[in-house]
Structure 1
Amino acid sequence: MQTYYRILSILILCFLVSSCSQEEDSISPVNPNNPNENTEGCTNSEALNYDENATIDDGSCIILGCTDEEAINYEPDATDDNGSCEYSNANLLNGVWNIVSLEYSTEIDLSDVPKVGTLLGVQTISGEASNAGEWIFQYPNYTYSNNLNFTTEPITIIAFDVPGIPIDVSSNGNWTLVNDDTTLLATDNDTNLESSFTIISLTNNTAVISGIVPFSQDIMGLAVDLDIEMEMILEKE
């Protein structure tokens, strides 16, 4: 019986030794010359949290930069946007803009008005208007449409009270930017007339542009052709 237990003890001991040996074999040996060879962390030296001891990248790198693909300085490796994105004026114009206010000025020649034309002569019409429609720019297609319309302020010419004149210069067509993106050229598809606007200021949300808009209309039997100077304040929807 003692012999039986002695043999059983030897078998159990051999089993335990064999199991320990297999576990040791399953553990990757550590290279004594580089104990950090299996260290996980950020391996990109450009990242804020770069770990010089890391040998395996774990995707934790934090790289600041512009993450917007529409920006001219887009950084594909950036993981966190730092507000540095820059946009071309063409990119900024893209979208729907409300014409919240405008100032206008033009001269109208009334010398052809029967009987009183010589008294009226050339008159200046100027004033302000609000909520004058919207302007839609599409980029990169470079097409536009607008429903620019407003009514001039009533004026008094000599002894005559002249009511406000409805102005509608809605159009659609193509646009482009020239002069280092500071001048907007809009070409009407129907008339092929080109209007030029100076971009005074332009941000993601607001724009101020000025230019001359041609206007033709029959008013009280009188053919009126005007070049209206406008300075418009726009806000993006």
Structure 2
Amino acid sequence: MRPSPTAIDPADLIGPVQEPGFPELRAIAVTTLGGGASLSGTSESLGNDTDTALLLGLRQWSDVVLVGAKTAAAEDYAGVRSTPSRKTPAPLAVITRSLSLDPGSRLFTDTDTPPLILIPQESLEDPALNSQRHRLVDAGAQLISTGQGSAQEIIAALHALGYARIACEGGPGIYAMLFEANLVDILHLTIEPVAHAPVEKQLFSPRPDSGGFAHRLQLEDASTTADSTMFLRYKRGVELHF
């Protein structure tokens, strides 16, 4: 058996890409062998340098990076960095209903591109949220209505702004919402070779009122680094009905 490399070129993991302007949603996630999305509360200890390079590579590929407010707060998100080949990086688009984001966080203070805040129209018009809306706008955010806040409306709102290539970084509730709506074209899944229990946070966490989902995905690529971390790339498959 051929030894696994210590690192893998992220371009090989990203694989074939469509022409710019072609709508595509790629989800990037890391999980343990037990299906956990975190250890000790965050995903920071999961993955390796190749996983980080893949994340950065997908950010460079994308027009916009989609993330839930809980994940942005828990992981202390900063904005996407500019690079010599891309002076204006993709903005972060943060999904929230409550607008409970800290204007003093790195999301607003440590970024080259102001974030987009994706909120339902109801939250955009709620008088009780006036103060928080003004605070976020003053911090540089652009507030974007997503209608009733469904997955389809969120993606449609991004497409309407000209963002065709979407990289979704989670968290578990956002992954579940997008898969339930059958909107994920490509899943990049990194598997951390850690068996553990209990699992504190499942990779997919649908809302209590969700009907659930099941999709049989098609494997496009499987690669492993020398530390036994596995990198899988799946494309959209067949929706299953039980």
The TM-score with structure 2 as length reference comes to 0.20
Identify the structure with bigger relative contact order (alpha carbons < 8 Å, sequence gap 6+).
2
For the pair shown, which has the larger CA radius of gyration, 1 or 2? Answer: 1
